A and B are shown apart, each in its own frame.
Chain A
Amino acid sequence: MNTAKAAASADKSVNDTSEQYLTFMLAGEEYGVDILRVQEIKGWDKVTRIPHTADYVLGVINLRGAVVPILDLRRRFGLETIDFGPTTVVIVVRVGGGRDERTVGMVVDAVSEVYNVDAADTKPPPDVCGSVDTVFVKALATIEEKMLILLDIDRLIGNSIADELVAGAAAA
């Protein structure tokens, strides 16, 4: 399995227009997140549930003294849920910036690869993009004959937490 450390030490770039993406699997599709946003990858461990939250917020964990929420991406995307297995991991990402910076964990089926993705190899997302709401998709990329869905992680996490506000308010 790739680790964030290994990924970070991988060759930075082939040329200046390429960016590195960490990819992961979710219900048979391969998704990519900007590797600079990835803080670490850890195994699934039990969480402390938080009341009054949407089902995709599994709870919070203690990450070296910080209280970090864990989101289930399958639930977030409305995919069929599965039992967590040995490949299930939590990708811890940093989103937002400055005072709004948040550290959030995402549960995915498995970590896949680190790719250099050249801007020339990407195209904007079509209106329908698998099962994912296209507002969260930054671009599609084709690497080694495979399609990667590059996620806009700021928007995805930001929206998830904002949706949460609405959901929480409705529940109260």
Chain B
Amino acid sequence: MTIDPDMAEIAKVFFQESREGLDVMESGLLSLGATADGESINTIFRAAHSIKGGSATFGFGEVAAFTHGVETLLDEMRNGVRPVTAEAIQTLLQSCDCLREMIAATEAEQPLDQDRIATLNGDLKNILGERPHDAPVPVPTAAASIEAAANTEAAGWRIAFAPVADLLRLRNEPTRMFAELRRLGAFVARADVSRIPPLDALDPESCYLSWDIEITGQIPRPKLDEVFDWVDSGCRLEISSIGNSAAVESEQAGPPPEAQPGATQAAPPSQVERAPPASAPVQKASGDSGSIRVATEKLDNIINLVGELLITQSMLSGFADGIDPNELDRLRQGLSQLARNTRELQESVMQIRMLPISFAFNRFPRIVHDLSRKLSKKVELKLTGEGTELDKTVLEKISDPLVHLVRNALDHGLETPEQRTAAGKPETGTIELGAFHEGGNIIIEVRDDGAGLNKAKILRKARERGLVPMDQDLTDEQIDNLIFMPGFSTADQISDVSGRGVGMDVVRRNINDLGGHVQISSKEGRGSTIRIRLPLTLAILDGQLVRVGKEVYIISLLAIVETIQVERERVNTLAGRTEVFRLREEYLPVVKLCDQFGVEPDSRSAEDGLLVVVEADGKRVGVLVDDLLAQQQVVIKSLESNFKSVSGIAGATILGDGTVALIIDVPDLIRSAAKSGSGAVAAHAA
């Protein structure tokens, strides 16, 4: 199917829109289980209808044909003809999946999965109780075939047309219709004015005329039908071919002539060109190509701010002609306004990249629905704070870890209905997925009311594996968080639900790599809560500037637990080399930035500097620096764009004075500290 470039652009909108439509269908279908009210079915139907209409319009006949079956089923449900059964919902959900793949494949110009389509089509037909005959939805290119089925061509036609009185009111102008006829052939019309009433009884908006028309030429009958298509109901319309007066068709509000079975059928589906199945997998739809839809309001904010900035700027440049000391105050005022505008503008620009977390949350009703069926568990999913916004990139990267956590909660956290009943809990468990903002970060919580973690078992396992020394006592919180240790799995058997190999340690690493934190707390028999703290964006970071010798580095405030002045007696040297520092009940390795980064510091001994206690991957270390400078928000610049990634460095930023400062990659620093001899980077669990 060839589409011109402009149509191809619009087709992209169609793909995006269809994906959204499918999301609407899916969430609608999932909620149908509970309540089957008319309006929700209607909403699902409309989404399917739009996909069908669009795909047919843009020439994606197979998508249109498949959606037709879905639409028919939904239409029957909507009209109450077809009961809303769990089976039907399941088939429709699978059809949504299938459509999503079809649309992705169509967009990527990849072959469709014909087997899957055929199977689901069969399922749909079964539910509809239809024989598997197919009335394909015509695509625009098929229009020509209607003419191929043309009726007899005569030397001309005689038409008797007596329209309904409403003709003019509905803007069906006889003059325009006649103009169309005139284009078809030689045209003569005689108006019958006999029905015009006396003037006092005349309604100027009604049509009292009727016509006898003769039109000569080789004109296919459907062309005539087309002209009268909009007006033939309720009117008197007789069309007979000249020289074949026997073939008179009379219509009195009957169905239009086009409904002839078979005759106007579109080309058979086999004619649709189909690329030979290639081995290449369906590529990821280009919907993720990095474009972003933005609420107009956000853009308007920015436009307003730029306007403000311009005003401030012109106000300031007015001073360029020579500053009167008396006006210094106004200059200061202008500058502070400029600073404020600039900051707001930056925030607004950041806003453009922000999307509500519902984009990630919306997957969960389906996931939970499918999984609870599979596991025979009863669960209610509660979503809160779906409108909470965060950066698109963070959103995309947090999505998979969240899926893992929710699956885990369902698989390992929640008990079976029998177990729950036995424990005196409601049969149906609850999983809550919530998000909210807290101090420049976003907090995402996954909460379940399941069995909670088995602390005794976790601690025993950790000890068996040497992750925790036999004599070390841990708090409950510390024990819970051991599940984030590499190679730690609490499940008695690995199920295919939570996956093999991908453990909670990977989840934590992914979150840490985003500059975030995760921790779990649980009460035995009452459930668990996993709390994820993430920066709102990867483009800026709340940083602590630290000085080492003459150099300045930046540490993310999110990674900093606390900063302490070191006292001599709390520093010990292990194995003659690694220094550890006692912070309350634990020993933290000291990482000297001067050694890590090869800087000449003010002093090499820990007690002269400050220890910045940082945490990642559940481990804490004390980073030795000479001084703490300001805390400020910095814009993260990649080192890789012009150079390459450097170990221990997450990126760079440009400070107020125009110089470049490097941002410390805390997880990487801790990992390399653990490798480089300080084996004492002890597991820390909280």
Contact = CB atoms under 8 A, between A and B. Distances in A.
Query: Is any CB of A less than 8 Å from a CB of B in the complex?
Result: yes
Contacts of A61: 660
Interface in A72-108: 102-104
Nearest to A50: B646
Nearest to A99: B641
Contact of B642 (A46, A67, A168, A172): A67
B644 A165 contact: yes
B495 interface: no
A52 interface: yes
A32 interface: no
Contacts of A62: 654, 658-660
Interface residues on A, range: 20 to 34
A104 B647 contact: no
A50 B654 CA distance: 14
A53 interface: yes
Contacts of A68: 642
Contacts of A46: 659
A67 B649 contact: no
Contacts of A120: none
A164 interface: yes
A161 B644 contact: yes
A59 B599 CA distance: 13
A5 interface: no
Given A62-B654, A67-B652, A103-B642, A168 B647 contact: yes
Contacts, number: 72
Given A102-B641, A172-B672, A52 B661 contact: no
B643 A102 contact: yes
B654 A52 contact: no
- Of the listed residues B639, B652, B660, B662, the one surrounded by the most CB atoms of chain A closer than 10 A to its CB is B660
Interface in B539-590: 551
A51 B597 CA distance: 5
Contacts of A53: 646
Contacts of A66: 637, 641-642
A60 B639 contact: yes
Contacts of B172: none
Nearest to A94: B642
Contacts of B145: none
Contact of A172 (B551, B641, B647, B658): B647
Interface string B199-210: 000000000000
B50 to A, nearest CB: 37
B598 A67 contact: no
A158 B643 CA distance: 10
B652 A48 contact: yes
Nearest to B593: A51
A102 B642 contact: yes
B648 interface: yes
Interface in B618-654: 637-639, 641-644, 646-649, 652, 654
Given A65-B654, A104-B642, A50 B647 contact: no
A67 B637 contact: yes
A161 B649 contact: no
A18 B539 CA distance: 45
B605 interface: no
B660 A51 contact: no
> Across chains A and B, which 3 residue pairs bring their CB atoms closest together, nearest first?
A51-B597, A48-B660, A69-B643
Given A48-B652, A67-B639, 9 more contacts: A50-B662, A51-B596, A52-B646, A60-B639, A66-B637, A67-B637, A67-B641, A69-B642, A69-B643
16 contacts: A46-B659, A48-B662, A50-B649, A52-B646, A53-B646, A60-B643, A62-B654, A65-B637, A66-B642, A67-B639, A67-B643, A103-B642, A104-B642, A104-B643, A165-B644, A172-B672
Interface of A: 46-53, 57, 59-62, 65-69, 102-104, 161, 164-165, 168, 172
